[in-house]
C-alpha cells in the first residue's frame, strides 16, 4: 500500500523518567520471558514514533493502587501534546472516581485506561459499573485490556463474555477492547463480541493468530471498528505497522485501521 497520510498508535505505555527503569524491570520479571523494545520513557516512545512515521500515540497508564490515580492524571496533563494523547487510569477501589473522571474530562483528556488483571477486578462486576456510568456521562473513551495477559496467562477476568455484558448494559460506552477483543480467547471473541458496538485494537494478535483468521475477524467485526495499536514498549512499532500493511485486505481498510477510525473515535 502507499504510505498512509498518518498513523495513530492507540495503545502505548510509558512511565515518568524517575520510575521507568524500575517499572520495566519489574514488568519483565513477571512476564514469562517477554522483553520490551523501548526503555519505558516518553522520550524513547517519541524517538520510536519519529523512526516509524507514527504521528500520534495514545499513552495508556494503569493505576495499580488507588493512591496512584491523581498522580497519574497530573503526570498525564504534563506529557500531553500534539503527539502524545494520554489516557490516565481509574482504580476500581478509588473512592472519588466521579470527581476524578470529571477532572480528566475538564483537563481535555479523551479517555481512560483500565486493566482487570493488574487492577484486580472482573470486567462485569458490580463495583465497576458506576465507573463505566461516569465514563459515559463524561463522554470519554474506555480502553480496557481484553482476554488473557502475558503476565496472567490463565486469568479470565477480562474474558469476552464479561465484556459483552458491559456493552449490553452500556450501549453508548465508547469502548476499545485491546488485542482483538480477547487475547487467546478467540472462540469467545467470535461467540460474544463480533459485530457488537465496540472497537477492537490490533496488538498482540498478528503472529499469534493465522493471517486468514485475522482477516476473518476484521471482515466479520467490520473494518470501521478496528484501531491500530502496538502495546509499545512490549511490541515494536515498526514491525507492527508492517504487519498491518502486509494483510491481504484493501488499502482503504488499512487506512481505516492505521488512522481513520482512531481519528473519528478521538475527535481529531
Provide the pLDDT confidence category of residue 150 given band limits of 50, 70 and 90. confident
Q: Comparing C-alpha atoms, which of 7, 17, 113 is closest to residue 53?
A: 7
Residue 181 gets the label, from left (phi > 0), alpha (psi -120 to 50) or beta, of left
Q: What is the CATH number of domain 60-227+240-249+260-266?
A: 3.20.20.140
- pTM, full prediction: 0.95
Any idea where the domains of the chain sit in the sequence?
Answer: 60-227+240-249+260-266
Residue pLDDT, tens place only, 189-208: 999 999 999 999 999 998 78
Residues with Cβ within 8 Å of 113's Cβ and at least 6 positions away in sequence, in order, are 60, 61, 62, 87, 88, 89, 142, 143, 144
Residues with Cβ within 8 Å of 133's Cβ and at least 6 positions away in sequence, in order, are 170
For residue 3, the model assigns a pLDDT of 63
Is the pLDDT confidence value at 21 over 90?
Answer: yes
Amino acid at each position: 500500500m502507499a504510505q498512509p497520510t498518518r498513523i495513530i498508535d492507540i495503545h502505548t505505555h510509558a512511565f515518568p523518567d524517575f520510575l521507568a527503569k524500575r517499572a520495566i524491570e519489574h514488568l519483565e520479571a513477571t512476564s514469562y520471558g517477554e522483553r520490551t523494545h523501548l526503555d519505558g520513557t516518553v522520550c524513547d516512545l517519541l524517538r520510536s514514533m519519529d523512526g516509524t512515521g507514527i504521528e500520534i500515540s495514545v499513552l495508556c497508564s494503569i493505576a495499580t493502587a488507588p493512591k496512584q490515580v491523581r498522580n497519574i492524571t497530573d503526570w498525564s496533563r504534563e506529557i500531553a501534546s500534539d503527539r502524545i494523547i494520554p489516557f490516565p487510569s481509574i482504580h476500581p477501589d478509588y473512592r472519588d472516581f466521579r470527581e476524578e473522571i470529571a477532572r480528566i474530562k475538564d483537563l481535555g483528556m479523551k479517555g481512560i485506561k483500565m486493566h482487570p488483571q493488574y487492577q484486580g477486578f472482573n470486567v462485569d462486576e458490580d463495583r465497576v459499573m458506576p465507573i463505566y456510568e461516569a465514563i459515559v456521562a463524561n463522554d470519554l473513551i474506555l480502553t480496557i485490556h481484553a482476554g488473557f495477559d502475558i503476565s496472567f496467562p490463565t486469568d479470565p477476568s477480562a474474558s469476552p463474555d464479561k465484556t459483552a455484558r458491559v456493552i449490553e448494559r452500556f450501549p453508548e460506552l465508547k469502548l476499545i477492547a485491546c488485542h482483538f477483543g480477547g487475547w487467546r480467547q478467540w472462540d469467545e471473541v467470535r461467540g460474544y463480541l463480533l459485530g457488537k458496538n465496540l472497537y477492537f485494537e490490533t496488538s498482540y494478535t498478528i503472529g499469534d493468530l493465522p493471517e486468514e483468521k485475522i482477516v476473518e475477524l476484521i471482515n466479520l467485526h467490520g473494518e470501521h471498528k478496528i484501531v491500530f495499536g502496538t502495546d509499545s514498549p512490549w511490541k515494536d512499532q515498526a514491525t507492527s505497522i508492517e504487519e498491518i500493511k502486509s494483510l491481504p485486505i484493501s488499502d482503504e481498510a488499512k487506512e481505516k485501521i492505521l488512522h481513520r477510525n482512531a481519528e473519528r473515535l478521538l475527535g481529531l
